[in-house]
Amino acid sequence: MTPAAHPSKRVRSAHVEWVQERMAERDWQIVADVERLRLATGAQIERLHFTAVAPSARGRVRRLVLARLVKWRVLTTMERRIGGVRAGSRGLVFALDSAGQRLMQLDTARHEQPARVRRPGTVTERFVAHTLAVSELYVALREVERRTPGLIVEAFNTEPASWWPDGLGGWLKPDAYAALASAEFVDHCWVEVDRATESLPTVGRKLRAYLDFLNRGQLGPADLMPRVLVTVPDEARAEGVRREIRRLPAPGDELVSVALHGQAAEVLAAGLLTPDGSP
């Protein structure tokens, strides 16, 4: 599977400058999130960036904005459409196009940040489905943040920005790293988004790598050990992962927890909320 629009053409610097002068604040926010996530559907982008638009006009405005960004070569659409043809542009999968890459490179250089701009080339159906599952967690976290005053999604990194040196010359490779903040605390978490495509023993080996990292006295982001959340598609898979957790030496059962995909954002936020639901 490859990007459907302009798969190999480069853009001239003059075009990038032309686009840069015309980008609205929401355009920059959309591009930053697509860069962060690598892939996002039209529906996910709508939930992130078009909630201020009246529901009756939301779909039309989103279609116009995304079509303009595709025309400008800021975004491109993948060949896959989530939900079939009837899903329309909500089901389109978007990635950064050449101009979008260049814009983000200019932005990271201006803020003296290391460039990590990525545009997918040929990718598999499995890669797309997994990446969109991680994107869905980010969108759900932003929705929880929006309806919970005082809760802030301080950081959300996807691969490879979520990876961390394991202290042995290799890497821990969580699918995502999230930091959620309240007025008093910041909760750090590494997330494994499990779609039941790997065997449970393979999942168990991943979890033992995190536990070994902890038991060797290694530290992750913010000089602490993030907790580990495994998100799963259904309760049967959750029970299988729980069995793997029970096989871990102490303190494996304190380090690792499990949540269904659809509940993962609420579970992540729950660690910062008081009994009345406030941070």
What are the pLDDT digits (tens) for 201-211?
999 999 999 99
Sign for the CA dihedral angle at 121, 117, 38, 76 comes to negative
pLDDT digits (tens, 9 = 90+) for 100-145: 999 999 877 655 555 455 555 567 899 999 999 999 999 999 999 9
Class of domain 128-270: alpha beta
- What residues does CATH 1.10.10.10 cover in the chain? 13-123
Indicate the range of 85-89, 176-180, 258-262 predicted with least confidence: 85-89
Distance CA(110)–CA(91), nearest Å, equals 33
Q: Are strands 75-81 and 92-96 parallel, antiparallel or unpaired?
A: antiparallel
For residue 15, give every residue at least 6 positions away whose Cβ sits within 8 Å of its Cβ, in sequence order, or none.
Answer: 73, 99
13-123: what fold?
A: Arc Repressor Mutant, subunit A (1.10.10)
Q: Give span(s): CATH 3.40.1560, the chain.
A: 128-270
Sheet strands side by side (includes 176-181): 152-158, 176-181, 186-193, 227-232, 256-260
Which residues make Cβ contacts (< 8 Å) with residue 189, sequence separation at least 6?
177, 178, 179, 180, 226, 227, 228, 229, 268
Q: What is the DSSP letter of 249?
A: P
Distances in whole angstroms, Cα of residue 221 to Cα of each of 31, 94, 181, 187, 245:
25, 29, 14, 11, 23
pTM for this predicted structure:
0.90
